[in-house]
Amino acid sequence: MRETLFDGYQRLMPRVRSSAPAVIVDIDERSLDTLGQWPWPRSVTADLVRAIARAGPAAIGVDVLFVEPDRSVAGADAALAQAVQGAKVVLGIAGIDYRDRRFPHPPHAAPVLSSGRRELPLQQFDGQLQSRPEIDRAAAGRGLISADSPDRILRRIPLVARIGKVIVPALAVEMIRIATGAQELRIDDQGGEHVDLNVGPASIPIQSDGTLNVYFGRHDAQRFVSAEDVLSGKAAAEFFRDKFVLVGVSGLGLLDFQATPLGERIPGVEVHAQILEQIFDGTYLRRPTGAAWTEAALLAGVGVLLVLFVPTVRPWISFALLAAALLALAAAGILAFMTGLLLNVTAPALAALAVFAALLGATFAEADRQRRLLREAQARVAGELEAARRIQMGLLPAPRTIFAGQTGFALDALLEPARMVGGDFYDCFMVDENRLFLVVGDVSGKGLPASLFMALSKSLLKSIALRGPGDPGSLLMRANAEICRDNAESFFVTAFAGLLDVRSGALAFCNAGHEPAIACRPGGVPERVEHSGGPPLCVLEGFEYPSGHRVLEAGEWLCVLSDGVTEAMNAAGEFYGAARLREVLKPLSSAAPDAVVAAVRADVREFTGTTEQSDDLTLLCVRWNGAAASGR
């Protein structure tokens, strides 16, 4: 993953070629076609070396091994040795993992001085392949041309390595030494992962194992000149003067090609040219000192950020936070690469993904647990509310049952809470043989608190009504005093209470801040029963509520309702209203109470449609049937 990331950096920002210190004399297909298949007679190679040397190059590097004697032309090896002699030629050496019997001794190399006390873990070779002794002795220097690429992508080149016990420089490094006349190489070892390799005026940062991270540029044909052009004299001498000239092969079938992080396959000799360009341009890639600690700090920072915020924010914010963290890591890696540092942000990124996945999983698990607990709690509350609803509805009388034998009047009532339980109530009972007490009340608020206060208010009103004689105004005044004593939450109660003499139809009533009742004679029109009344209970302590009086005609009904009827709202935000209620009641002047209640309920439902009920809905309708019907 790390190497893939670093390759990606190079693809994104390949090295730009700003200088051209190296020229490649390429034994290409055209040269092979003109001069014959490889290997050429060494006399031809000698001619090529002499042609280059006449142009005055800084140094000549030969990326070719002359291991076996040339048996095609007599004296060819000697001719090549003579051409190499004094021409600042550096011959290539290939490190191998065994001792070749043809080269039993380590190669000759310039001394390497180190400022450190430790022995660096340089790449170790047991033996080498090199040019024949007579050719090798004529060379000014020898340079390593071996490179390791375990996954077939060349990323690092050993600039110094050991063959046996001898430290040997790379071909490009030895060419610089020969060109500058330096007598030795110096390694500046300050400890840690990084050291500097000094050759002449050049100081090259390398890893402690002696390798250089090659910063590749794109393949460029301008680096190359055909060997055929050099031998035929077509190549101008100025093209080679004071340049580092590399001789190598690129002809098809010769297999000296390397895959680079840029996704290109380039001739092996071009790798040495790119190393020389990199050294001259000073564009290096190296792992920063303490890179592992830096990457660990990035991981810790991102991890802490995720741990702090992922469990506390919404999922989409968590994903945005993760994306921002990954982008920040990518930006840090790119910025580091732009300064020549290889920062591995894949480990922090992968760890961040793992931490995020774990946190998100834990968050979802905790959310699921909380939802499960909430569902269980809601189920318990729903069960308790259902029980409270049954208890509340059980407190309300069933008029059709308790007054089934009555002939002097007919009564029906309805209560539909807006929630499971509500604050509306009604009651109706005989206080004595001849008088019917009825009341409709509405506690401020909704839900369970209002239902508890409703139960208290209803019980007190019934108790006061049954304890002694009195008109409705007196009853409400006593109830007001009692309820005010137990009203820590400052509820108030609107109420309409009435006493109906079932013998005469005389009705005494009192309205404490409630909706006016509606009365309707047989064949008449509905009319509001206006009454000065008073404020709701628990608003003014000690208020004296006056009673009103009305004598019902035979067949006349009285309908008492809560504001849940007139203030019912539809989807358009419109109220049901008193005018619509009167229109519904007009054709019901001679109807029975149950028909009146059913008609109003049905019309309210039609008006509201699918809109959620906003308030408790309560209706009570009583009709006096007349003295003859009462039998009293």
Chunk the chain into consecutive blocks of 10 residues (it has 632) and report each block's average pLDDT, rounded to whole numbers: 81 88 94 90 94 96 93 89 94 93 90 86 93 94 88 90 94 96 91 85 91 92 93 92 94 73 90 94 83 78 79 79 84 85 81 82 83 86 72 84 90 88 88 93 82 86 85 92 82 94 94 95 93 89 93 95 92 92 94 96 94 89 85 56
In a domain, 378, yes or no: no
Q: What Cα–Cα distance (Å) separates residue 94 from each residue in 105, 143, 199, 232? A: 14, 9, 21, 31
Q: Do residues 442 and 344 share a domain?
A: no
Is-contact 15 276, C-beta < 8 A? no
**Does residue 456 sit in the same domain as residue 319?**
no
H or E segment to which residue 225 belongs? strand 224-226
The alpha carbons of the chain give a radius of gyration, in whole angstroms, of: 53
Residue type, 87: A
Based on the domain organization, do 244 and 277 belong to the same domain? Answer: yes
Domain span including residue 262: 2-13+21-281
Q: Which domain CATH number covers 423?
A: 3.60.40.10
pLDDT at residue 254 in the model: 58
**Residue 382 included in any domain:** no
Whether residue 526 lies inside any domain: the answer is yes
The pLDDT of residue 5 = 81
Query: Which H or E run includes 298?
Result: helix 291-309
Same domain, 218 and 330: no
Residues 213 and 296 in one domain: no
Tell me how many domains the chain contains. Answer: 3
Which has the closest alpha carbon to 426: 507, 342, 515?
Answer: 515
pLDDT at 319: 82
Q: Looking at the domain assignment, is residue 175 inside a domain?
A: yes
User: Could you give phi then psi for residue 488, rounded to 5 degrees?
Assistant: -65, -25
Query: Residues 562, 433: one domain?
Result: yes
> Are 352 and 492 in the same domain?
no
Distances (CA, A) of 294 to 36, 209, 326, 347: 56, 21, 16, 11
Task: Find the distance separating the first CA and the last CA of the chain, reported in whole Å.
Answer: 103
Give the domain-ending residue among 229, 258, 281.
Answer: 281
Domain contains 390: no
Query: Residue 381 falls within a domain, yes or no?
Result: no
Regarding beta strands 435-443 and 493-501, do their DSSP bridges make them parallel or antiparallel, or are they unpaired?
Answer: antiparallel
Burial of 453 (0-12, 13-18, 19+ CB in 10 A): buried
Domain final residue pick, 256, 281, 306: 281
Within-domain flag for 391: no
The predicted structure's pLDDT at residue 255: 62
154 and 258 in contact (C-beta within 8 Å)? yes
d(CA 257, CA 131): 21
Any domain includes 164:
yes
40-59 pLDDT per residue, tens: 999 999 999 999 999 999 99
Token representation of residue 328: 């920040």
CB 256, CB 268: distance < 8 Å: yes
The answer to whether residues 502 and 585 belong to one domain is yes
Same domain flag for 256 and 351: no
Q: What's 170's DSSP letter? A: B
549 strand-pairing partners: 508
Q: What are phi and psi of 204, to 5 degrees?
A: -115, 120
Q: CA–CA separation, 434 vs 265, rounded Å? A: 114
Instruction: Label the pairing between strands 185-189 and 194-199.
Output: antiparallel
> 62 with 190, same domain?
yes
Question: Pairing between strand 22-27 and 156-158?
Answer: unpaired
Note whether 277 and 295 are same-domain residues. no
Q: Give residue 253's pLDDT.
A: 58
Domain-terminating residue out of 333, 354, 370:
370
Whether 305 and 407 map to the same domain: the answer is no
